[in-house]
Amino acid sequence: MGQTTTHHTQNKVEKDYHGHPNYIKIWGVLVGILVLSLAVGELGHKVLSVTLIFGLALVKAIMVIGNFMHLKWEPKLLTWVMIFAVAALGIFYFGVAPDVVYVEMKIAK
């Protein structure tokens, strides 16, 4: 009994076509942020520069995910999945930190 199954994503017109943002402009902004974070790196104040750099890295990541990977136009669920993945890592970090970060080492002779 012949069984033809059309895989619906195969030759379907891009139903959820939602246009492409101006990639070049976003690329420009990203390079700008990169240069900015390098400049911040020269700043004397250590703690401020580290937090700024990671902040800028986070902004870059969110821009890449949002615009290049079109997460902005995907259903909300996918965004929540990504957030949960990062949250799971956060849970892991704060669950383990008291045991690894705040314990001084002493090697038994």
Does 74 engage in binding with another protein (CB under 8 A)?
A: yes
Other CB atoms closer than 10 Å to residue 34's CB: what's the count? 13
- Residue 3 falls in which region: left (phi positive, over 0), alpha (psi -120 to 50) or beta: beta
Does 106 engage in binding with another protein (CB under 8 A)?
A: yes
Min CB(35)–another protein separation in Å: 9
- The residue within the footprint of another protein, chosen from 39, 41, 43, 48 (CB under 8 A), is 41
Q: Residue 71 gets which letter from DSSP?
A: G
- Asked whether the beta carbons of 52 and 42 are under 8 A apart, the reply is no
- Asked whether the beta carbons of 53 and 41 are under 8 A apart, the reply is yes
Does 47 engage in binding with another protein (CB under 8 A)?
A: no
**For binding to another protein (CB under 8 A), which residues are involved?**
1-12, 14-17, 20, 23-24, 26-27, 30-31, 34, 37-38, 41, 50, 53-54, 57, 60-61, 64-65, 67-69, 74-75, 77-78, 81-82, 84-86, 88-89, 91-93, 95-103, 105-108
